[in-house]
Structure 1
Amino acid sequence: MSIQVTLQPEPGQKSRAGLKLKKGMQQWMKVMPYIFLGVVGTAVFVIYPMIRNIIISFQEYSIMPNAENPFVGFANYVTAFTDPNNKVLMAIRNTFLNVAVTVPINWFLAIVFAVLINLHFVKHKMVFRTVYYLPIITSWIVVAFLFRFLFAGGEYGLINFIFYKQLGIFNEPVNFLSNYWSAMIVIWLFHIWKTVGWGVVIYLAALQGISREYYEAAQIDGANGTKQFWSITVPMLGPVTAFVLINLVNGAFNFFPQVYFITKGGPMDQTQTLPSLMYLQAFKNFNFGYASAVAVMMGIAVFLLTYSQMKKFGNQRFL
């Protein structure tokens, strides 16, 4: 004969569970309006435009009222790669060149400047943070006009004035913005100077979380500053580096103000990037289907590159 005993929860336990559920529901009700606003904002300003852009890329789209906007299949994509002037191919080349040049330099300068400022004998760290971050909050247009003045052609651009008129290093004034490679270098310098401060501030914040014990132990073992930098600082900043690199890559793909305000795509559209080409085709030539096709291709490239970087860093183990 077996006796089954059923344990009933005590009244106090049941009331505590009810209070916990009630408190959780109250918390959800408080944050739900903000979540709803975020979801609506994302749907209206991100998801809908993205879907609409994909649809337009398959149309011969016109902004005129009551236009038919017929579907043309992949014609816009085919046109992008069969353009006799190779504008899309030049824009793709320049875009990936921007990533290959500016991302490593930007990352290296950001982490080196952050480490130098973070040294224990350096005072007034807040002043240095402000100085490095100041270009970030400065208007793109203001900085663009500054660089156009620095690298202006003729004798009275500042660089030409110093190296041609004063020092005599140049045999003649250099028209920086009329040559492909010199114009690209100016664009890269513009981008790096404008954005490197963001990485410096991020790394400065991350360096505060590295214990001094690692460096003290390395000093006891005889490691110099360079060895400590590559063996301790860089590995310890691994997760932050993943975040910084992903954002730097995304920024390098979105080279629009750098091109538009400095060269406007010249000379002869040779410095066009994918964003500037999209703007030119959409709002200058009113070829919205073509521009949307370019946007879709750029979006796929950015997604694949970002996803691969996230997967690569996500599988790594950091100290």
Structure 2
Amino acid sequence: MANATDAPPRRTAAEKPRDPARGNSANTSSLLQRREGRSGYLFIAPTTVLLTIFYLWPLLQTVGYSFTSWNPASGDAGAFVGFQNYADLVSAGDFLRALGNTGMYVAVVVPLTLAIGLVLASLLAQPFRGRSIYRALLFVPYIAPVAGSALIFSYLLSPLGGVVNGVLSALGVPPIGFLTTEPWALISVMVFSVWQGVGYSMIIYSAALSAIPPSYYEAAKLDGAGPIRRFFSVSLPLVGPTTGFLAVTGVIGALQVFTQVYVLTQGGPLRSTETVLYFIYQQGFVFFNGGSASAAAVVLLAVGIIVSVIQLRVLSRREPVELI
């Protein structure tokens, strides 16, 4: 009878013979992954270089100039002044007023643009004759040149021969200097910006509404919901992600408003329509105070980042809505 000690020893997992085919397959897969990784780096290299040259490097230069007395006219980098430019911005009432005007502009233009765009998209969601023409007409202001549209808008609001004041005069209302008096100047800039951007919001919302299954609306109809109830109970919640996207991009764009102010009011009257970007333009290219302009640009960048982070955090806390 054989002893138990005579049994052949068992092989551990480490001692088991490896399959040569499996090892070669793993090596081949790893080699292909490395090659794909190198190819990916080659594809993104041109974009990375361009972004570094035209975005990252100028950004670093702006931050550096904000601590100096740089003069863009002479090209002189100037002396290092530390945080003096930032202290001057805080103590100067002009920058704070420009910051307040920008905040008011963002708080009014962005919500109105989104609300009107959503309403128009809902009205144009139902098929009817000529729907594409209406959509195109509403989208034209967004793709039209801002400067040209602003010039036409200023002519319409002119107190001398303007169409709007002509209608008011026919109604017995005295002419109003929409672009030369407070608070009408800032209101006029806001109205023009809403008119210009509502077409874009309408197109994006139209795409979002078209993705909602018709069965949702049919079920709401069976429950006795009318058009307004269906809008608030079905359409509005399901386009929430689109609203978040438009809100973030809209705030970023509104913080950088410049052309409308430059063409319509040039910051007047008495700086009542001056925004942060227009303040940067004045400091850098009119008064040649490059250090102050750079400091204001850095502050505007910081404000944009903070607002965007807050918006994204709020949006990330919302429960996702799935269409099934």
| Secondary structure in structure 2 of the residue aligned to 1:147 | helix
State yes or no: 1:114 paired with 2:117.
no
Once the two structures are superposed, the pairs formed by residues 144-223 of structure 1 within 5 Å of their partners are 144-154=150-160, 156-164=161-169, 167-170=170-173, 172-223=174-225
Match of 2:4 in 1: none
Provide the rounded CA distance (Å) in 1 between the counterparts of 2:113 and 2:96: 25
Give the gaps of 5 or more residues in structure 1. none
| Superposition pairs of residues 248-263 of structure 1, within 5 angstroms | 248-263=250-265
Q: Contact (CA 8 Å) 2:141, 2:196: kept in 1 or not? A: yes
What does 1:1-319 correspond to in 2, within 5 Å?
Answer: 2-4=9-11, 6=16, 8-9=18-19, 11=21, 13-14=22-23, 16-17=25-26, 20-21=29-30, 23-25=32-34, 27-63=36-72, 67=76, 69-83=78-92, 86-119=93-126, 121-154=127-160, 156-164=161-169, 167-170=170-173, 172-319=174-321
Equivalent residues of 2:156, 2:162 under 8 A apart: yes
CA distance in 2, matches of 1:204, 1:43: 36
Q: Distance in 2 between matches of 1:169 and 1:19?
A: 85
Q: Please state whether the residue corresponding to 1:162 is helix, strand or coil.
A: helix
Task: Please report the RMSD computed on the Cα atoms of aligned residues, expressed in angstroms.
Answer: 2.0
Give 1:173 deviation, angstroms.
Answer: 1.6
Larger radius of gyration: 2
Deviation, 1:223, is 1.2
Residues 1:54 and 1:192: Cα distance change in structure 2 (over 3 Å):
same
TM-score by length of 2: 0.89
Q: Give me the whole-angstrom Cα distance separating, in 1, the residues matched to 2:132 and 2:34.
A: 43
The TM-score, its normalising length taken from structure 1, stands at: 0.91
Tell me how far 1:281 sits from its aligned partner.
0.7
User: Is the contact made by 2:73 and 2:288 (CA closer than 8 Å) also made in structure 1?
Assistant: no
Q: Kindly provide the CA deviation profile for residues 219-246 of structure 1, in whole angstroms up to 9, marking residues without a partner as x.
A: 1111111111111111111111110100
Q: Cα offset for 1:113?
A: 0.8
What is the rounded CA distance, in whole Å, between the counterparts of 1:168 and 1:96 in structure 2? 35
Are the equivalent residues in 2 in contact too, given 1:98–1:188 (CA < 8 A)? yes
Query: Which amino acid in 2 is paired with 1:92?
Result: L
Distance (Å, rounded) in 1 between the aligned partners of 2:86 and 2:188: 31
* Whole-angstrom distance in 2 between the partners of 1:62 and 1:38: 31
- 2:97 maps to amino acid: M
Identity of aligned residues (%): 28
> Are the aligned partners of 1:153 and 1:177 in contact in 2 as well (CA < 8 Å)?
no
Equivalent pair of 2:280/2:293 in contact (CA under 8 Å): yes
Runs of 4+ with >6 A deviation: none
Deviation at 1:282, TM superposition (A): 0.3
Task: Determine the C-alpha separation between the residues in 2 that align with 1:210 and 1:286.
Answer: 53
Aligned partners of 1:210, 1:263: CA distance in 2, in Å?
43
**Cα offset for 1:193?**
1.0
Paired residues, number? 311
Residues 241-276 of structure 1, C-alpha deviations (whole Å, 9 max, x = no match): 110100111121111011001000111222100000
5+ unaligned residues in a row in structure 2: which ranges? 1-6
Determine the C-alpha separation between the residues in 1 that align with 2:75 and 2:147.
37
Q: 1:304 to 1:10 in 2, by over 3 A?
A: same
Query: Residue by residue, what CA displacement relative to the aligned partner does 1:120-177 show, whole Å, maximum 9, x if unpaired?
Result: x3344433332222112111111011111011122x011111221xx2331x221111
1:22 Cα deviation from its structure 2 partner: 5.3
Deviation at 1:18, TM superposition (A): 5.3
**1:133 and 1:197 in contact (8 A); partners too:** yes
Aligned with 1:180: secondary structure? coil
Structure 1 pair 63–102 and aligned structure 2 pair: CA distance change class (3 A):
closer
1:67 Cα deviation after fit? 3.1
SS at match of 1:95: helix
Once the two structures are TM-superposed, the CA of residue 16 in structure 1 deviates from its matched residue by: 4.9
- Residues 68 and 278 of structure 1, relative CA distance in 2, 3 Å threshold: closer
> For residues 213 and 176 of structure 1, do their structure 2 counterparts lie closer, same or farther at Cα, with a shift above 3 Å needed?
same
AA partner of residue 160 (structure 1):
N
Q: SS state of the match for residue 239, structure 1?
A: helix
Cα offset, 1:277, TM superposition = 0.6
